Structures are given as structure tokens and as C-alpha cells.
Structure 1
Amino acid sequence: MVGRLVQMILPPASREAVMGDLAESCRSPGQLAAEGLRSVPPLVAEQARRASRLPVIGLQLFILFACLGGFELDRAGKVVTNAACAALPMGLAMVGLLLRNIYRSEDNPVRQGFFDALTAALCVVAQQTMMHVLIAAGHVDPAWALSRSLIVLACLSFPILWTLGAMENPDAVRRKPAQPLFSDYNQFVQRTRVRNRAEMAALAMIIGVSGYFLARFQPPVAPLGWSFLTGYACILVYLALRGAARPAPLDADSATVRALYETELNRQSRQRRLMWWFWFVPLFAGLMTNLVMYGVSKEQPLRIVGGIAAIFLLGYLIERLHRDRRLAIHLKLNNLAAVPA
């Protein structure tokens, strides 16, 4: 019983090795529990360092803060800023995502991304539930709770976090295939098909939630929002028609399959890059409108500088994410030459 409890709190990446060492060195359940608990903090810290990628964490912060209304303009007379209201649920959601990184097991990336988004959503719901309890008890000002419009806006974080979490780790991309070329390519086709369906589902969610938000709350940027939704619909059609990798002909020789593999790897890489820029186009527009342009109109240099810095940082994170993946694909292409047919 003690061994199972210790095993549960150990990160999966080091669970087997640590439990083996503890089984050999510990003479009693009490010693096993003490040594196991002593091992957890450094192992968790090490796994957090290894599993967390700067571009992903940065984009998760941007997604949550924006979808929780952190960049929205504050209404006159509101005692709590939108940034402060967004910071609390964002912080709790990031803690949940960090724990997901630490205790993540090797699994389907699309499934992992879904549970990443679900974890963040549950953390936000828990924080808002607690906030409403405190408000009902009179301990907290009602302004700390998210408004109805921001609750709808927060729903947009789920599909974007899902697609972000569904990206394969660069280490998995660059890994040398351990099976014949044709079989490895078929698995690649299957993975892209599953990811493509997930992106289509995410786009459908965004179109539905955004359409409701624009129709129900009619924000000043509604015309721009409808144009974005039109673009999302076009992307959805493209993904349905050409998003997944092409299957290899059954009678193809190894040279044909290898050439097709290289072509599709490069095409999928370009497609992912364009998709990620497209995902964040509304956020770029929001940063420009709510920070830079508003700062210019109100003669607030700090807001202008902050907005420009945020735009450049967001662009850097997107490009860094693509660069890491592109490097992994380059190594993958080099490894394909050594894969048997």
C-alpha cells in the first residue's frame, strides 16, 4: 500500500528507476515512505525543467491571459482591473498545466492536448467557483468575478490550448524510426489525420463560440471579428480537403515512399507554421487595438511600449516554437536515409 502511494506521487519518467532503488534499499514501509517523499521534490523539479518548453509556456500564458480578458479595456468605475481579474485564474491554470507536464505519460499527443485544455478549464472553473463563494459571503468585491462576456471569451482558450498541447514533442519528431520505412510513414499519416481532425474540431469550437460572442455581446470590433470567422471557415475547409498527409501507394518502392515522406514532412511543417500564425491573428489585433492604438489615443507611452513589446514577444514565441520543430524535422529527414525499406 505504501509503495503504491509513493509510486503515484513520483513523476512517471523516473517512477520505475526510483521504485527499484527504494525496493532494494528500504527495509520497512516507514523507511520506504520517508525515502520516497524525500525523493519527490528534486524529481518533480527536474521533470518540470525537462518537460517544460519556453515557447509553449509563453503561448499558454498569452492564450489564458487574453481569453480571460486581461488585455481588455477597463470599464469606467470598475474597482478591479481586467488584468487583475485574469491573473488569478490564469495563475491557477498554469499550475495545473505545469503539473500536467510533470506527470505526463507517453501517449497520443492529441489526447494529451485535450487533457491539458481540460485541466486548465477545470482550474479556471474552480477558481471562479471559489471567488463566487467568497463574494456571496461578502469577503470579496463582486468585480473580481469574470463577467458573462469574459466567461464566453474564456471558452476560446480550450480549443487553442488543445491544439497547442497536441503538438508532438520535438524529441519524438526527431526520433529515428525503429521500423521499416513504409510502416513508419503509415503511422505518420495516421498521426497527421488524427491531429487534423482535432484541429478541425478546435476550429469548429472557435467559430461557434466566437459567433455567439459577437452576436450576443456585439463588441465594437464585431465587423473585424466576423471577418476572422470567415477566415477560420476557409481554413476549416482547407483542412478537410488537404490537411492530412497523403497515404503512400501500396505498390510504391522505397525511393518513392522516402520522397513522399520528405515532401509531406515539409508540407506539414509549413502548414503548422501558417496555422499557428493564423490562430494568433486575433490576439495580435487585440494587442494592437487595446494597447498600442488606445495608448496613442490617450497619450500613454507606457501602454504603447508595453503593447509593442507584447506583439514582438508573441511573434518570437510562435517563431521559436516553429524553429524547434523545424530543427527536429531536419534531423528526422536525415534519419530517413538510414531507415530500411
Structure 2
Amino acid sequence: MTHNPPRWLERFGELLIPPASREHVLGDVAESSDSNFQYLINLARVLPSVVWGAIRRRANLGGVIFNGLISGFILGFCQAYFDSAGFRGIGAWLRLAVPWGVWVIGCVLAAAYGPSDKPASWNSKLFYATIAVAIGVGAVVGLSVAGILVGLGVVIGVTLILTMPWVHQSSLQQPLTVENLPQQACTFQKAIWWRNARESAVALVLILVQARDAWSSEHWSEAAGNLLLIAGMSFVLYYLQFRAAPRRVPEGDIHVLQQFHRREVLRQRDILRAIPWWYLLPLIPGMLVDLAQRGETSAPAIVGLAGVLLLVWRLNVWAANWLDRQLRDIDALGETIR
């Protein structure tokens, strides 16, 4: 006989079971139970296998490994940057392993508990909770909170670049036709808007952090690196909002729309190719001065900084190459509508 658990117990089960398996699993648990206590026992028995099954279906192994490697590297670099005196030796890396483990495991669980109707989406509540817990445990084990905060921001930024709307929007993956050209043009402009919003949000957070450090400096010379970074990030903000900003899709015939979309894709491709000049170069002087003031002028520190800059550049080159393919499709469509 199927046991009918009280509503509070059902909600508890719904909270624990991933959405994709929730209805089926909870039904089986209720059928095999004859009391509330037995319901809890059966729920505890099936929970590990159900969660593991959801992880295998929704969390890509390559993505988990990449997330673990890139987040470990970036978190370590940011800790060394913000706490050069305290972050030394194997003990510091063992302490860093605590928030790093929270981050990696939390991301896996956020993927496993994502909406059942959206296989690629994560559970936003779990994701934000992961960020909060990672920062909290980092503070408890004596790590720099600013280092963890900025490090996670960079990790999230890299992840967003790799999953940016212009790469994974389904409409942009479809063959370009006269019928879907208006939709693709609008989707492309929305992708630009989201990219600029993300980059601007990160820049504003970093500006606030650098302004705090500059304000707390005892002498203006100690704040030179902070002020240079603020100036560099302010230039990046200006460029994003005024030179790389999205534009309104015009109304008109298909020829006007095709020419507009081509100009916009070409403009954004050239902006990505110029990343070293308007995005990286303005930040390098402040980074180098700040490293020098902290006494971090050793080869590992310089190589680490160069590695981060190289990664950002290569990701944008990859995106620019993708836009080149889009340009060829747009030109081919233009030939058919002449």
C-alpha cells in the first residue's frame, strides 16, 4: 500500500531529489514505505545513486576537469596577488583547497539540480550558495576574502566567455536564411549587450577594490599601482560602453537588414581582434607596478600574469574566428537576395 507522507515531508524529498528524477523517484519511495520513518530511510538509501545519476547525465567530465584546473590556477594567482606575504608554502595551498573544493563540488551539484526542462541550465540558488560558502570557508581558513572574491569573479568571467550567448544561442547555430535573419540580428545584438554588461560589472567591482586599497595607502606612491589599474579599467569601461556597444536593429527590407548585420558582425570581430590594445594593454602597467610594490617580481609571478593574459587573448581570438565564419554565411546570403 502506498504511503501518503505529509506535505512537509514531500517538500523535504523534493528538495533533496534532482528535478529530472523527482516525480519518478518520490513515487517509488512512497510506494515502498509504510510510515514517515520508513519514507525517510528509503529516501536516504536512493539519494546517493539518484544524485550520482543526475551528475553523470548533466555534468560533463571534461567541463568538471577544466573548471577544477582553471579555478585552482586563478584562485591561487589571486591569493598570491592579494596576500603575497601570507600565501606561501604547501600549507597555503592546502587552505586554498577548501574553498576550491567547495567551488568545484558546488558547480557539479548546481548542474545536477538544474531545471528538468533545460538540460544545459544550472540551479541558480545552489550556484549562488556555492559562491557564498566558498567565500565564507576561505575567510574561516585565513585566506584573503578579496582574493577569493576576485578569483571567483575571474573564473565565472572565463566560464561566461566560453558559454557566451553568441556561441551557444540556438538561433545563431541555425543556417542563416532570409526567414531567420531578423531573429539572428536581434540575438546577436542581445549577446553583445550581455557581454558588455558582464565585463562592466567585473570592471566596476575591481575598480571598487582598487579604490579601497588606494584610499588605505599611507602615501600616494604606494597607491600608484591601484591608480593605474583604476585608470586602465575605466578606459575598458569607456570602450565597452561607447565603442563596442550594441546597436538597434533597423527596420526595413531584407537588403538593409543584411547589410546592417554584416557591418555589426565585422565590427565586433575587429573589436575582438584588437583585445590586446584596448583590453589588456591598459591593465598591464598597473598590474606590473602593483606586483613590484608587493615584491612579487619573481619569474613565477610574471609567468602567471602572462599566462592569464594569454588565455584571455586566445579566447577572444577563438571568438573572432567564429565571427569570421558568420561573415561568410552573411555574404553567401547576400548573394542570394541580390
By the TM > 0.5 criterion, same fold? yes
How do residues 265-304 of structure 1 correspond to structure 2 at under 5 angstroms?
Answer: 265-271=265-271, 274=275, 277=280, 281=284, 285=288, 289=292, 294-295=297-298, 304=299
What TM-score do you get using the length of structure 2 for normalisation? 0.65
- 1:21-49 CA-to-partner distances (Å, cap 9, x unmatched) read 87999994579967775354244135322
Q: What residue is the counterpart of 2:203 in the other structure?
A: 203
- 1:40-62 CA-to-partner distances (Å, cap 9, x unmatched) read 42441353226827766554334
Query: Structure 1 residues 316 and 263 mapped into 2: Cα distance closer, same or farther (>3 Å)?
Result: same
- 1:95-121 CA-to-partner distances (Å, cap 9, x unmatched) read 3234334445598x9x98997984453
Q: What residue is the counterpart of 2:316 in the other structure?
A: 322
Query: Structure 1 residues 223 and 287 mapped into 2: Cα distance closer, same or farther (>3 Å)?
Result: closer
Question: Are the aligned partners of 1:70 and 1:87 in contact in 2 as well (CA < 8 Å)?
Answer: no
Query: Structure 1 residues 327 and 260 mapped into 2: Cα distance closer, same or farther (>3 Å)?
Result: same
State percent identity of aligned pairs.
Answer: 15
Q: CA deviation at 1:145?
A: 1.5
Query: Structure 1 residues 154 and 37 mapped into 2: Cα distance closer, same or farther (>3 Å)?
Result: closer
Give me the whole-angstrom Cα distance separating, in 2, the residues matched to 1:284 and 1:38. 47
1:91 maps to which of 98, 101, 125: 101
Give me the whole-angstrom Cα distance separating, in 1, the residues matched to 2:235 and 2:257. 30
When structure 1 is superposed on structure 2, of 232-241 and 175-184 the one drifting more is 175-184
When structure 1 is superposed on structure 2, of 194-203 and 2-11 the one drifting more is 2-11
1:60 maps to which of 71, 76, 87: 71
- 1:288-337 CA-to-partner distances (Å, cap 9, x unmatched) read 75999644xxxxxxxx3x44653564345334533553454455445555
Letter aligned with residue 186 of structure 1: C
Query: Structure 1 residues 24 and 267 mapped into 2: Cα distance closer, same or farther (>3 Å)?
Result: farther
Q: What residue is the counterpart of 2:142 in the other structure?
A: 145
Structure exhibiting the larger radius of gyration computed from Cα positions: 2
- 1:142-179 CA-to-partner distances (Å, cap 9, x unmatched) read xx423xxx334444346545544443163437521796
Q: What residue is the counterpart of 1:186 in the other structure?
A: 186
How do residues 35-184 of structure 1 correspond to structure 2 at under 5 angstroms?
Answer: 38-49=49-60, 52=63, 58-69=69-80, 72-74=83-85, 82-104=92-114, 118-128=128-138, 131=140, 144-146=141-143, 150-157=144-151, 159-167=153-161, 168=164, 170-172=167-169, 175-176=173-174, 180-184=180-184
Q: What residue is the counterpart of 1:236 in the other structure?
A: 237
Letter aligned with residue 60 of structure 1: S
Letter aligned with residue 151 of structure 1: V
Give me the whole-angstrom Cα distance separating, in 2, the residues matched to 1:283 and 1:227. 5
Query: Structure 1 residues 185 and 227 mapped into 2: Cα distance closer, same or farther (>3 Å)?
Result: same
- Describe the SS at the equivalent of 2:247: coil
Q: What residue is the counterpart of 1:247 in the other structure?
A: 248
Q: CA deviation at 1:196?
A: 2.0
Question: Are the aligned partners of 1:113 and 1:164 in contact in 2 as well (CA < 8 Å)?
Answer: no
Give me the whole-angstrom Cα distance separating, in 2, the residues matched to 1:324 and 1:53. 21
Question: Are the aligned partners of 2:228 and 2:285 in contact in 1 as well (CA < 8 Å)?
Answer: no
- Describe the SS at the equivalent of 2:255: helix
Query: Structure 1 residues 289 and 171 mapped into 2: Cα distance closer, same or farther (>3 Å)?
Result: same
Give me the whole-angstrom Cα distance separating, in 2, the residues matched to 1:279 and 1:58. 27
Letter aligned with residue 249 of structure 1: P
Letter aligned with residue 264 of structure 1: E
Letter aligned with residue 85 of structure 2: D
Query: Structure 1 residues 102 and 51 mapped into 2: Cα distance closer, same or farther (>3 Å)?
Result: farther
Question: Are the aligned partners of 1:67 and 1:154 in contact in 2 as well (CA < 8 Å)?
Answer: yes
Q: How many pairs align?
A: 308
Question: Are the aligned partners of 1:74 and 1:81 in contact in 2 as well (CA < 8 Å)?
Answer: no
Structure with more relative contact order (C-alpha pairs < 8 Å, separation 6 or more): 1
Letter aligned with residue 90 of structure 1: W
- Describe the SS at the equivalent of 1:74: coil
Question: Are the aligned partners of 1:89 and 1:124 in contact in 2 as well (CA < 8 Å)?
Answer: yes
Question: Are the aligned partners of 2:114 and 2:123 in contact in 1 as well (CA < 8 Å)?
Answer: no
RMSD: 5.1
Query: Structure 1 residues 114 and 42 mapped into 2: Cα distance closer, same or farther (>3 Å)?
Result: closer
Give me the whole-angstrom Cα distance separating, in 2, the residues matched to 1:39 and 1:279. 49
Unaligned runs of 5+ in 2: 34-38
Letter aligned with residue 193 of structure 2: R
Q: What residue is the counterpart of 2:212 in the other structure?
A: 212
- Describe the SS at the equivalent of 1:250: coil
